[in-house]
Amino acid sequence: MPNFAGTWKMKSSENFDELLKALGVNAMLRKVAGAAASKPHVEIRQDGEQFYIKTSTTVRTTEINFHIGQEFDEETVDGRKCRSLATWETENKIYCKQTLLEGDGPKTYWTRELKGDELILIFGADDVVCTRIYVRE
């Protein structure tokens, strides 16, 4: 089983602004969010298939606790409440489908994959994909 545990810092980010646009976030908020999310700090604790992920930026901290294969509540990148289900897509990759609890919006998901010494985080909104690469601190 892959070991996602540790603290991670972001090395690169692609299409974050495009993701926020796809989610309907206005230009001013995108600018603030883009600056705030430029250096996120991620802490992951893992016990088998039980995960705790804390993501901290200068304006917002999010925490999720989940077990692979069991639904849990979280928020989309733009802060809307959703019901999520994380499953193993491959031996080293978690796929999490998000379903909005209220209202309409794009189909959203995230994946986290270990590749060598890197953690590849992907956020998706319909056909827009944001890729963020992290390295261990």
Q: Which residues contact 42 (CB under 8 A, 6 or more apart)?
A: 7, 8, 9, 10, 53, 54, 55, 56, 119, 134
pLDDT, tens digit, for every residue of 54-109? 999 887 899 999 999 999 999 998 889 999 999 999 999 999 999 999 999 999 99
The strand pairing partners of 116, in sequence order, are: none
The pTM of the full predicted model, rounded to 2 decimals, is: 0.92
pLDDT, tens digit, for every residue of 7-53? 999 999 999 999 999 999 999 888 888 777 778 999 999 999 999 99
